[in-house]
Chains A and B, each alone.
Chain A
Amino acid sequence: MATAVIMPRQGQSVETCIIGEWLKKKGDAVKAGDVLCTYETDKASFELTAEAEGILLEIFYQAGDEVPILSTIAVIGQPGENVESFRTSIPGEEKSAQESKKTEEKSPSSPAGEKDTPSPSVPSIAEGATISPRARKMAEQLGIAWQTIKGSGPSGRIIEKDVLEASETQPRMTPLARQIAEETGKIPVSTQGPGGMALHTDLGDAVYPASDEFEDKKLSNIRRLIARAMHESLQQSAQLTHHMSADVRKLLAFRQECKKAMEQGNSNANITINDMICFCVIKALKTMPEVNAHFLGDVQRFFKQVHLGIAVDTPRGLMVPVVRNAGNLSLLQLSIQIKNLADACRKGSIDPALIQSTAATFTVTNLGNYGVEMFTPVLNLPQVAILGVNTIIHRPADTGNGVWGFVPFIGLSLTYDHRALDGGPATLFLREIKNNIENWNEKIE
């Protein structure tokens, strides 16, 4: 009897996975344990192995497709066995079919029955905007460079009406110019033909690149999540950023001590400036619970523990793992945990529960290593604030007794949600971090 190949569940938060690559193709003989395909979640890539032996009778999803977990993605069985019963049980397919039908109905330019061109193959002209097949055909017939038309359909989609309107203002192209324009993506930049027609010599560099000049890639799951989270954050909160800087002479001195201790074999504590800043932040959060909070619309949730999110740059995209109960940790413990979490993220082995935005009560993001002097971090909702750590800059300062010299300062950029926090407390919080940094008094463990 034929066996379904199911997209497995990967962690509680994962709803869909993206198929990376099929290593077996339809008709191939497979043994149990053979790798059929790779797939990825928002955090890692996995291999899907066959659990049955037989022939790979059918593949329902192709590389790059986003597949709801527990969907049947393929069927293994013996030649001649019916696979159609497996196909109908694909929840995702039904859903997407319904969705596309809905789109067709909404778009006046795509009457039912007309086959819509899948969006990835349509060169996009603006963010997400496309042209309906019907409008495209009309544009081609009229010799209109549709890439320059602003669409009035759903999501800026160019519809027939837009092409008609454009045809009244845009230059017509000669048949030769039109063909070359279609092939190269060039558009008329002058009109030297009869009656103001654009000749092929009037075509100039395209505003939008030709289809062979770019590659459309489906968003990875993690990119999709980041995109949604960032966009929602800016849309749904009232965020703004305060900048302040702190004298880091004491932190730098401590860092030197750590290095020295490590060199002399007295310690394994490779405590970085970032670890120290995080430590200072945790200390400040303990004194200001209104910052260690979530803003949940009607309620604000003040946390008794500090769960510190740390932004980590990984090859797959930004991840923010959380150091739980960070307020209970010593400097060394904190330093070790931060390193371990970052490594797990980069390897793709992080526990999905630890990268939920709700898991952290506050987030630190550090771009100082890259030389960034000031930035405006985006809030990780529902957290009410996020601290951006910048690079160290030497500034003239009074070093005491009226003697002026250059002193290293680290930049701190605090973005906060003004719905939850006013400017006064936010500034006080920044000052508190600054004070903790400038009055650093930790000892090497």
Chain B
Amino acid sequence: MYDVGIIGGGPAGYVAAEHAAQKGLKVVLFEQKKLGGVCLNEGCIPTKTLLYSAKLYEYAREASKYGIAVSGVEADFGKIMERKNKVVAKLVAGIAASLKKYGAEVVNKKVTIAGQKEGMIQLQTDEQMYACKNILICTGSEASIPPIKGIESATFLTNREILSLTQLPNTLTIIGGGVVGIEFASFFATLGTRVTVVEMLPEILGGLDEEISVMLRNELSKKGIVFHLNARVTEIKGNEVIFEKDGKTESVTSSALLMSVGRKPVIHGFGLETLGVEIVRGAIKIDSHCRTNLPNVYAAGDVTGFSMLAHTASREGDVAINNIAGYKDTMRYQAIPSVVYTHPEVASAGLTEQECKKQGIAYKIAKLPMTYSGRFVAENEGKNGLCKIIAGQRYGEILGVHMIGNPSSEMIYGASMAIECQLRVKELKEIVFPHPTVSEILKETIFEL
């Protein structure tokens, strides 16, 4: 008998399993593929590994700007992919070791929910039945494939297959200009692929601050990426993607096609139906304690369809375990950081200006170019960026922080902390930032408020 059975070993599931074991709960984690889930095997980690290679390649090519003469710079696609595999393998092994260390049982098998019996949920593998007081569903998500004409016979890649390419494609068309599409666009364009992005919305990276999205798009255009905005794909004919834009039909032909229009929760194929868990718009509905409509069934991560980010998933898993262990914990989404690991990086946390307007929140705003940071100027020859801080009009509480410029990804946690703790401009002005760092841009911008 287990205190908690966890289905899915991604960032929600494995973090939950670790924390559950640390708290002394008897926990079993089921993962039929590799530990780490999409994030570690097909998402965050492999793409960041690739993007780092691309960034080094770019630095090497631009080294002369910094007084370094480098010749014969070459990107070896095969070796880049090889290193990516090595990094992933190392981290997967690390998770397994960590779970073992804390005493969480891991079952590398497919599991099915068989039903409830005497208050226990029965989880069935081909060998054994596991009786669990609680279960935590962390089955994640998969790339969603839109019903475009000709898609059945088309050859396309998703985030999974594109990571297994052995040769750099000459041309790449990406349907969907979200985070996944834009990061791959940045990577392949840097290595020399001619990339075209077809986005249905008026701007890439929907949900991000519009001003920053535009700045990033302009930077990426300099790498040769072609963007088609407001473009609705109507048909795929072999290598040709046909789309409508401004009432006209256009098409783009490429050697590879990436489908990155979004992701959908995995709610089928493991017996979820037997429990009667409430599903809303294809995702498991949870409350602020990550509990479903059933008292002993929890869900965390992409399967909840709410914020499809690995770090959200991990925190949700943590919240679920805390509640199972009897500590009341609440999931908060208002300060979840969001990062695009392009070069330059984009990072944000909290509300955007557009969201403030939509929600009728009175706000004030301050923004400064990244060049106000000495460190940024020293390390980003000829580059610029932006730091934008949104605060409540009346109390000056930090509502949102949006940045473009390296290394925004490493600085955004500070904004999350400020938003989570509801710090005001007043408090932040009293915080000492290390000098010289790019993070000082936050302090400089705060003083503009």
Contacts and interface: CB of A to CB of B under 8 A. Distances in A.
Nearest to A180: B395
A192 B332 contact: yes
Contacts of B288: 192
A177 interface: yes
A193 B395 contact: no
Contact of A193 (B397, B420, B426, B427): B420
A175 B397 CA distance: 8
A99 to B, nearest CB: 39
A180 B426 CA distance: 15
Interface string A93-120: 0000000000000000000000000000
A180 B424 CA distance: 12
Interface of A: 174-177, 179-180, 192-194, 197, 199-200
A197 B424 contact: no
Nearest to A195: B421
Contacts of A200: 397, 422
A174 B426 CA distance: 13
B424 A179 contact: yes
How many B residues are at the interface, by size bracket?
10 to 19
A176 B422 contact: yes
B234 interface: no
Contacts of A177: 422
A176 B427 CA distance: 10
Nearest to B332: A192
Interface of B: 288, 330, 332, 392, 395, 397, 420-424, 426-427
Most interface-central of B288, B420, B421, B423 (chain A CB within 10 A): B421
Nearest to A200: B422
A200 B334 CA distance: 13
Contacts of B395: 176, 179-180
B323 to A, nearest CB: 13
A180 B422 CA distance: 12
10 shortest interchain CB distances as A-B pairs = A174-B422, A176-B422, A176-B397, A192-B330, A194-B420, A175-B424, A175-B427, A174-B421, A179-B395, A176-B395
Contacts, number: 33
Contacts of A174: 421-423
Given A193-B420, A197-B421, A175 B330 contact: no
B426 A175 contact: yes
A175 B422 contact: yes
Contacts of A176: 392, 395, 397, 422-424
B424 A193 contact: no
Name A's interface SS.
Answer: helix
B312 to A, nearest CB: 15
A177 B422 CA distance: 8
Given A175-B397, A177-B422, A194-B421, 15 more contacts: A174-B421, A174-B422, A174-B423, A175-B421, A175-B423, A175-B424, A175-B427, A179-B395, A180-B395, A192-B332, A193-B421, A193-B422, A197-B421, A199-B422, A200-B422
Contacts of A180: 395
25 contacts: A174-B422, A174-B423, A175-B397, A175-B422, A175-B423, A175-B424, A175-B426, A175-B427, A176-B392, A176-B395, A176-B397, A176-B422, A176-B424, A179-B395, A179-B424, A180-B395, A192-B288, A192-B330, A192-B332, A193-B332, A193-B422, A194-B420, A194-B421, A199-B422, A200-B397
A176 B397 CA distance: 6
Contacts of A193: 332, 420-422
Contacts of A179: 395, 424
A298 B421 CA distance: 68
B380 to A, nearest CB: 33
| Interface core residue of A176, A179, A192, A197 (most chain B CB under 10 Å) | A176
A197 B426 CA distance: 19
B233 to A, nearest CB: 41
Contacts of B427: 175
A192 B322 CA distance: 14
Nearest to B428: A175
A141 to B, nearest CB: 12
Contacts of B330: 192
Nearest to A192: B330
Contacts of A194: 420-421
A264 to B, nearest CB: 75
